[in-house]
Chains A and B, each alone.
Chain A
Amino acid sequence: MELFFIRYRNVLVLLTLLVAQIVGLAVQVRRTNSGHNTLDPKDGPGVRLIRLWADAVVSPPEKLIHETKLGSTNLWNQYIDLRHTQQDNQELQKTIDRLRLEQAALLEDAKQGQRLQALLNFQEKYIYKTVAAQAIGSSGSDQSRVFTIDKGSNYGLKPDMAVITADGIVGKVREVFPGTAQVLAINDQSSGAGVILETTRIRGILRGNAIGQPQIVNILADQRIQPGEKVLTAGGDLIFPRGLPVGVVDKVIRDPDRDAFIDVIVKPAAHLDRLDEVLVITATEARFSEQQQQDLATSEALKGPEAAAIEEQKKASAIMAERLPGLIDPNLPPDQQPLLDSSNPNLVGRPPQPLHPDRFTPGGANQAAPASGNAAAADADKKSATPGNAVNPAAPTAPQNPETSQGKPQP
């Protein structure tokens, strides 16, 4: 017996390791109600322990490499490569001014929206608190779109928190360790996010394909879905707040497994292949955060009067447009245009006939003709006197005396 173990020790070690790993895999997979197998999203204690060990071994050198790279980049950018800094600063200041102006103008709408939501008993969740984190490493596998960030449970991170950038959503926190966390990107094959197409309002589930492109799956073929349409988060997955940008439709392909369905390939808004700094949404509330309120107050104080002045100008223009008589109503058919309404005394008609026409008068060639001129010319002249033919709506016209416009003789 002892000889057997010695003789076959290599194969026995191999088999033991294989069996142990197969058993370990079996406890990580579960069968869904639909009969498909899926990975258990919650890791067992043993699996979590292995992940913790791997993170403890790999993350410190990764952090060291990342911080060295960041330090050298900062040294270069902040102390050496300072060309155009002043110009950039000025442009950024202009952008801030413009955004403050826009923010102040939108503030009233936002407040009104909140009031209406409160009336309808609907509470939209706003991003209330975020934690900025650096992406320090990846999974190292082309089959897995998972990356590691340098913040963990010490900063309040928890599993299933949304991870975003200023451009759009990135993924969700999968595993949290004390100093780091693993983020499952939206282009991973095992990810899932509820999304909605902005124009067509078609909803679907976003997940990654084999080559790392996010795609919306399980959608019935629909001709309205066109490349370029924006994709937003739907908010139904309880991870991503509603309305965050996801990307734009890149192309639509047939589902290889089901004829009636299509897959919508999405070009992500966030640069998923070159992630550096990300934001983890640690809290969402039905109100603005203190920082947001501070920003709003600053905008209101600094740019409020300007925004209000612009708003007043817009309102005044709208009122004037309502009061001024319209020559052409786009909602009416051509034969019912107010221009053809002879009962309207404010109509701008043909310019009055000159008392002594000469050859320089418009149409003077006909009028200057002998009294025995041809009847056709006179008839044409009569036709041209109808309001529809007489006025060019695009041409600037001076206000006319109603009596004059009706062809009454001048005193």
Chain B
Amino acid sequence: MNTMSGDFRRDLEVRHYPILVYALAPLAALVLQAWLPSLLAGNAWFDLPLVITVYFALVQRIPIQGTLTGAVMGLFEDALSGHAIGVNGIAKTVVGFLASSVGIRIDVDNHTIRLGLTFLLSLLSSAIYVAVYRMLLGLKLEWSWVIELIKSVANTLIALVLFPALDRLQIRD
């Protein structure tokens, strides 16, 4: 019964966007993530690809698509970082899957819920990153949870502005 109601809601509320938005929004997120820190004295205390992953996963409500979006964004971030490829990939794959799975069951038009989810998923992404880096790979990584908390808050603030802006770009019947 639950599954049925979930499918029903998904069929009812799935959003569509112009193809350019699907292509340009992730690209813009990756480019800005790489470019903005040079203006901010190297402080990259935000994660635009994560915010975009969460947004599209939430509003599209297709777990496979959310998972793939997260994987691609994470792998691209890893490729640009010069570190091992796959650490961010794993973190964002899980985030994309969870966001789209949760999106089936919640009201995605509610800003508060979306922002709360962004904050929690941002923290989860950091936790997975540390776990993979330290435990799975056994590599040394100095870490500060305060910075990760600040980053999660910053992601939430970005989502506060970005989500309504992206909502306006959806195709309405």
Interface residues of A (CB under 8 A from B): 9-10, 13-14, 17-18, 21-22, 24-25, 28-29, 36-39, 47, 50-51, 53-55, 57-58, 61-62, 65-66, 135-148, 174-175, 182, 184, 188-190, 209-212, 272-275
Q: Are B139 and A272 in contact (CB under 8 A)?
A: no
Contact of B42 among A18, A36, A148, A212 (CB under 8 A): A212
User: Whole-angstrom distance between the alpha carbons of A58 and B31 in the complex?
Assistant: 6
Q: Are A137 and B38 in contact (CB under 8 A)?
A: yes
* Nearest residue, chain A, Cβ from B98: A14
* Nearest residue, chain B, Cβ from A182: B82
With A47-B85, A54-B76, A141-B77 in contact, is A14–B44 under 8 Å at CB? no
Q: Are B140 and A189 in contact (CB under 8 A)?
A: yes
Point out which of A22, A54, A190 has the most chain B C-beta atoms below 10 A from its C-beta: A54
Q: What are 6 A-B pairs with beta-carbon distances under 8 A?
A: A28-B85, A54-B76, A58-B30, A58-B31, A142-B151, A188-B82
Contact of B86 among A13, A22, A55 (CB under 8 A): A22
CB neighbours of A147 from chain B (8 A)? 38
Determine chain A's interface SS by DSSP, over half rule: mixed
Q: Are A21 and B86 in contact (CB under 8 A)?
A: yes
Q: Are B80 and A21 in contact (CB under 8 A)?
A: no
B67 at the interface (CB under 8 A from A): yes
Q: Are A29 and B64 in contact (CB under 8 A)?
A: no
Given A47-B85, A50-B75, A58-B80, 13 more pairs with CB closer than 8 A:
A24-B85, A25-B90, A25-B132, A28-B85, A28-B86, A57-B30, A65-B31, A144-B82, A182-B82, A189-B142, A212-B42, A273-B43, A275-B38
User: Whole-angstrom distance between the alpha carbons of A145 and B87 in the complex?
Assistant: 16
Q: Are B86 and A24 in contact (CB under 8 A)?
A: yes
Q: Are B138 and A37 in contact (CB under 8 A)?
A: yes
Q: Are A146 and B80 in contact (CB under 8 A)?
A: yes
Q: Are B42 and A25 in contact (CB under 8 A)?
A: no
Q: Are B85 and A50 in contact (CB under 8 A)?
A: yes
Contact of A39 among B38, B42, B136, B139 (CB under 8 A): B139
Closest CB of chain B to A198's CB: distance in Å? 27
User: Whole-angstrom distance between the alpha carbons of A58 and B85 in the complex?
Assistant: 16
CB neighbours of B79 from chain A (8 A)? 50-51, 53-55
With A10-B101, A37-B139, A50-B79 in contact, is A142–B44 under 8 Å at CB? yes
CB neighbours of B38 from chain A (8 A)? 135, 137-138, 147, 274-275
B83 at the interface (CB under 8 A from A): yes
CB neighbours of A137 from chain B (8 A)? 31, 34-35, 38, 80
Closest CB pairs A-B (n = 3)? A210-B142, A54-B79, A140-B33
CB neighbours of A39 from chain B (8 A)? 83-84, 139
Query: Contact mask B82-100 → A, CB, 8 Å, 1/0?
Result: 1111111110011001000
Closest CB of chain B to A150's CB: distance in Å? 13
With A25-B132, A147-B38 in contact, is A13–B43 under 8 Å at CB? no
Contact of A14 among B78, B89, B97, B137 (CB under 8 A): B97
Contact of A22 among B81, B90, B138, B143 (CB under 8 A): B90
B41 at the interface (CB under 8 A from A): yes
CB neighbours of B144 from chain A (8 A)? 210-211
CB neighbours of A136 from chain B (8 A)? 35
B120 at the interface (CB under 8 A from A): no
Q: How large is the interface on B (under 10, 10 to 19, 20 to 34, 35 or more residues)?
A: 35 or more
User: Whole-angstrom distance between the alpha carbons of A89 and B48 in the complex?
Assistant: 44
Q: Are A148 and B67 in contact (CB under 8 A)?
A: no
With A51-B85, A140-B80, A189-B140 in contact, is A17–B93 under 8 Å at CB? yes
Q: Are A29 and B27 in contact (CB under 8 A)?
A: no
Q: Are A272 and B71 in contact (CB under 8 A)?
A: no
CB neighbours of A28 from chain B (8 A)? 84-86
CB neighbours of B34 from chain A (8 A)? 58, 62, 137-140, 148
CB neighbours of A210 from chain B (8 A)? 141-144
Q: Are B81 and A21 in contact (CB under 8 A)?
A: no
CB neighbours of A139 from chain B (8 A)? 34, 37, 44, 80-82
Closest CB of chain A to B17's CB: distance in Å? 20
Query: Contact mask B140-173 → A, CB, 8 Å, 1/0?
Result: 1111100100010000000000000000000000
With A13-B64, A144-B83 in contact, is A138–B35 under 8 Å at CB? yes
User: Whole-angstrom distance between the alpha carbons of A11 and B43 in the complex?
Assistant: 36
CB neighbours of B142 from chain A (8 A)? 189, 209-210
CB neighbours of B76 from chain A (8 A)? 54, 57-58
Q: Are A142 and B83 in contact (CB under 8 A)?
A: no
User: Whole-angstrom distance between the alpha carbons of A148 and B34 in the complex?
Assistant: 9
Q: Are B44 and A141 in contact (CB under 8 A)?
A: yes
CB neighbours of B86 from chain A (8 A)? 21-22, 24-25, 28
B63 at the interface (CB under 8 A from A): yes
Closest CB of chain B to A35's CB: distance in Å? 10
* Nearest residue, chain A, Cβ from B74: A21
With A137-B38, A189-B142, A273-B41 in contact, is A14–B67 under 8 Å at CB? yes
